[in-house]
Every structure is written in structure tokens, then in C-alpha cells.
Amino acid sequence: SILKPVLIAETLGREDFGTISGSLALPYLAGFAAAPWLGGWLWSLGGYNPVIALAAILATTALTAVTWLQHTALR
């Protein structure tokens, strides 16, 4: 999004912005690159049910992590 650089600079500082931004993008880009291969492999094992199950597990894990981090940050 357009606001991502602004949010990174405001929350984590402007010093070493490129390093911080790249470090935050690495997990996202790795998942983005691996998703088609992993989805195809899971589909070959058992159709779309394993793919949908993995997507649900990852979404639940992400929601749990964000909720926990917000709760921890408010203390």
C-alpha cells in the first residue's frame, strides 16, 4: 500500500529505512514466491481441500499473532 513506507518510518524510525523495509518484505515475498508451488503440490496430494485447510490455518495463525501483538503493545 502507499502508506507502508510512512508507517514503517513513523513506527520504526527513518534510520536504516531500506534495511528495515527489506527485512519486513522478505517473509511476504518468500511466501508469495512459494505459494503457487506449494498450492500445486498440495492439490496433487488431495485436491483443493488441503489447500483451503492450509490457507485457513495460516489465516488463523496470522490473526492470532496480530491480536497477541496488539494486546502486548497496549501494556
Number of H helices, E strands in the chain: 3, 0
**Which of the pair, 13 or 65, is modelled with greater confidence?**
65
What is the Cα–Cα distance from 25 to 30, expressed in whole angstroms?
A: 9
Q: Are 72 and 65 in contact (CB under 8 A)?
A: no
Domain residue spans in the chain?
4-73
Q: At residue 17, does pLDDT exceed 80?
A: yes
Mean per-residue pLDDT over the chain, rounded: 91
User: Following DSSP, what letter does each residue of 37-65 receive, concatenated?
Assistant: HHHHHHHHHHTHHHHHHHHHHHHHHHHHH
Give the max Cα distance, the chain: 48
The predicted model gives 15-28 an average pLDDT of 90
Provide the pLDDT for residue 72. 86
Q: What is the pLDDT of residues 32-63, one digit of tens each?
A: 999 999 999 999 999 999 999 999 999 999 99
